[in-house]
């Protein structure tokens, strides 16, 4: 299927690895020019070079922390008026509900709620003026069903979801769509770190921790960043203009819901 977005320009945040990279790769395959971001410059440059070589599109790399004002300003300076915005950042640390301080909450809200909101506020006006735009926010399955150890994520990301639900319906008449992708467990560095933590806590091997988590997923495996990226590219395509303010779970069936 031709996604109809060849030559469009996209900002993809937190994209040197994992799900952000999966989205960047899929958009590049569809012919989209990219500005990608991550904190670590070396891995980011390597990813940019690999995507350029594989897909033959322009890829600019802007190293910086997207959860800071300076990081976002650098990203927007490199691409002030993208046609496509994919927001993403690292997830907050796990813990117990009673342990988190106000500062912990502020950090999580900054990273997983206020950062995507600031990027949307900066880029939506030009998209609306041009009459076309696509925003995809990478959130989490925690938005549909809370993950007990990830209370900071549960709290911050549901706030973003509420903002998107209202805003998506205000910009849709200008040809701009905003949707959220809700990952379940995917095969990325974050999943590896969570497996390592579970293995340590349970006194088992990381491979056994992974097998135990895979057994909780109806698909009996972790998702692949490329599969996730393909869903993102579809939501950014010309075919997805009537999909507004939705929350798409990509979790191998792990969240036990009827709808």
24 binds ligand NAP (CB under 6 A): no
Distance from C-alpha of 93 to C-alpha of 165, rounded to nearest angstrom? 26
Task: In angstroms, give the least distance from the CB of 63 to ligand NAP.
Answer: 8
* Biggest alpha carbon–alpha carbon distance for the chain: 57
The DSSP-derived string for 87-110 is E--PPPPP--TTT--HHHHHHHHI
Least Å distance, CB 62 to ligand NAP, is 10
122: helix, coil or strand? Answer: helix
Rounded to 10 deg, the angle between the 206-214 and 189-202 helix axes is 110
Instruction: Based on the shown chain and the rule CB under 6 A, indicate whether residue 180 belongs to the binding site for ligand NAP.
Output: no
Measure Cα distances from 122 to 22, 94, 223, 237 in Å: 24, 30, 32, 21
Stretch that binds ligand NAP, among 86-94, 126-134, 171-179, 199-207 (CB under 6 A): 86-94
Judged by CB under 6 A, does residue 107 bind ligand NAP? no
18 sits near ligand NAP (criterion: CB under 6 A):
yes
Residues 61-80 close enough to bind ligand NAP by CB under 6 A: 65-67
Q: Which is nearer to ligand NAP, 131 or 218 (CB)?
A: 218
Name the minimum Å distance from CB 115 to ligand NAP. 8
In the complex, the smallest distance separating the C-beta of residue 64 from ligand NAP, rounded to whole angstroms, is: 7
Query: Could you tell me if 157 and 115 are in contact, meaning their C-beta atoms sit under 8 angstroms apart?
Result: no
Other Cβ atoms within 10 Å of 249 Cβ, number:
19
Work out whether 188 is an interface residue with ligand NAP (CB under 6 A): yes
What residue ranges bind ligand NAP (CB under 6 A)? 14-20, 37-40, 43, 65-67, 88-91, 138, 140-141, 183, 185-186, 188-191
């Amino acid at each position: 299927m031709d996604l109809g977005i060849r030559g469009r320009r996209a900002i993809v945040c937190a994209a040197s690895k994992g799900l952000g990279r999966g989205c960047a790769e899929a958009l590049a395959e569809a012919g989209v020019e990219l500005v990608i971001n991550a904190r670590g410059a070396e891995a980011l440059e390597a990813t940019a070079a690999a995507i350029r070589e594989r897909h033959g599109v322009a890829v600019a790399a802007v190293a910086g922390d997207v959860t800071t004002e300076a990081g976002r300003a650098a990203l927007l300076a490199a691409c002030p008026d993208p046609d496509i915005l994919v927001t993403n950042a690292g997830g907050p640390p796990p813990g117990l509900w009673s342990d988190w301080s106000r500062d912990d909450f502020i950090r999580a809200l900054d990273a997983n709620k206020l950062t995507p909101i600031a990027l949307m506020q900066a880029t939506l006006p030009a998209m609306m003026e041009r009459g076309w735009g696509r925003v995809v926010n990478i959130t989490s399955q925690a938005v549909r069903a809370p993950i007990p150890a990830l209370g900071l994520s549960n709290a911050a990301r549901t706030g973003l979801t509420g903002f998107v639900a209202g805003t998506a319906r205000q910009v849709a008449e200008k040809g701009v769509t905003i949707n959220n992708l809700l990952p379940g467990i995917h095969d990325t560095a974050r999943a590896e770190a969570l497996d390592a933590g579970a293995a340590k806590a349970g006194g088992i091997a990381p491979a056994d921790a992974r097998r135990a988590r895979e057994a909780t997923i109806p698909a009996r495996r972790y998702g692949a960043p490329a599969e996730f990226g393909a869903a993102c590219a579809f939501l950014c395509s010309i075919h997805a203009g009537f999909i507004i303010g939705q929350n798409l779970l990509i979790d191998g069936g792990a969240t036990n819901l009827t709808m």
